[in-house]
Amino acid sequence: MQEIIETSEAPEALPPAEIVDVRFRVPGRAATFQIGDLPCKRNVAVVVQTERGPELGETISAPRSRFPKEIDAKFPRVLRLATDEDLSRAEHNHGQEKDAGDVFRQLARELSLPLKLLRVDYRFDGGKAAFYFMSTKGRVEHRGLARDLAQKLHTRVEMRQIGERDEARLTGGMGPCGRELCCSSWLKDFAPVSIKHAKEQGLSLNPGKLAGMCGRLKCCLRYEYDTYAELRRGLPRIGKKVNCIHGEGVVTQQSILKRQVVVRRFSDEVLFDCSLEDLVERKQATPDAEATPEAKATPAESVPEPTLTQPASSKPEPEVSEWEAASTPDPRAREKRNQSGSKKSARRRPRRRKRGDRDKKPSKPS
C-alpha cells in the first residue's frame, strides 16, 4: 500500500501591529507612534510623548504594521490611554484658552497693534500658551505684547505670526470639491504651487477657479502635475505642423489624458482627432532623393577628389633648422608690435615732476 504524504505550506505570519497614527487638536498635525502593549483602537483618546512634552491626541487609524519605508524609523511611544483626569485637564485648558484670547485682544487694542487672533493653544501640562495671529501690516513688533501677556497669564508665551495658508488650516472649511480642506484634514506641509502647474494641465487661467479658500493657488493643483507632465511628453505642441493619415495640417489642441491632438488640415480647414499612431514623421530631403533617376539607375564610379598643389619653384628652398626658425623674427609680428607700441606711447601720460623740481625755475636758454 503506497503511502501518500500530504505537505501543506504554512502561511507566512503577518508582521505585528505596533504603530498607530495620532491626530492632535491643532489641524494638520498628525504623527505616528509606537503602541507597545497598549490595547489601542481607532478614535480613542491617548496621551503621547512629543518634542513639546506630553500631549493629548486621538487615534485616526487602527494599529497597523510598519510600511517598508518605516522599518528602520524610530517613532515616539504612546504613554497611556487617556483617563478621566486627562480629559478634565484638557477641558480646563480649553477654558483658559478662551480667557487668554480675550486678554490678547484687549492688550493689542491698548497698544494699537493691528493684529488678528486666530487661535490659542495651551500645552497639555499648562506650562506654555501659543498664540496664532495675523497682521495687516506685515511684520509687527510684538515683544511688548508678549511680555504683558506673560505677566497677566502667569505662564510662558509663544507668539506665532502666520500667513493666509495657515489661516485656512486653523479655521478649517469645505473646499469647492465638497470635502474638508486638505490643509486642515491631512496635509502636513505646504508644497510650492505656481501657475505653471495649471498651464501644464490645460486648465483655464481663471483666478476664481484656481484660488482656494485662502486666496492662494489650490494645493491640489500639484497632485496630478507629475502625471500630466508624463502623459504630455511626446505630444506635438500647439501650432506645430505635422503629417497625419488625413493629410498635412497644424496642431490646434491637445487632449493630454487621451494622448491625442486635434489637427486642422491645410487643404480644407477640417479638424481631425489624431493619436500618436496616426502621426507620420516628416522625412527630411536627402541628396539621394534629389538625384535624377538616371543617376540612381547607374551607380557612379568613385572619382578621387582633386587635391590642390602649388607649382614647384625652380630653385629648391633651403632647409631651416628649428633653432633658426624660432630665432628669426616674423616681419608681420614686428610691424604689429610697433603699431601697438606707438598707440601705448600716445596714450602715456606726461611724467610728473618731483617736489624738488617744482620749486626750481626753468633755466632760460643761452
Confidence of residue 297 (pLDDT cuts 50, 70, 90): very low
Report phi then psi at 217, rounded to 5. Answer: -65, 145
Q: What 3-state DSSP class applies to 185?
A: helix
Residue 278 above 70 pLDDT? Answer: yes
| CATH class of residue range 89-162 | alpha beta
Q: Which pLDDT score is estimated for 86? A: 92
Q: What is the pLDDT of residues 225-269, one digit of tens each?
A: 988 988 888 888 889 998 888 888 999 988 888 888 999 999 888
Contact 58, 48 (CB under 8 A): no
What is the distance, to the nearest Å, from the Cα of residue 63 to the centroid of all Cα atoms in its chain? 34
Q: Which pLDDT score is estimated for 295? A: 42
Q: Report the C-alpha gap between 173 and 183 in whole angstroms.
A: 10
Residue 358 above 80 pLDDT? Answer: no
pTM above 0.85, yes or no: no
Q: Which residue is associated with the grid cell 484638557?
A: 90
Q: Which pLDDT score is estimated for 360? A: 53
Confidence of residue 97 (pLDDT cuts 50, 70, 90): very high
Domain boundaries, the chain: 19-82, 89-162, 171-229, 241-280
| Average pLDDT over all residues of the chain | 78
Residue 120 above 50 pLDDT? Answer: yes
Per-residue pLDDT, averaged over 174-198, amounts to: 86
Confidence of residue 284 (pLDDT cuts 50, 70, 90): very low
Buried residues in 174-211 as b, exposed as e (16+ CB within 10 A): ebeeeeebbbbbebeebeebeeebbebbeeeeeeeebe
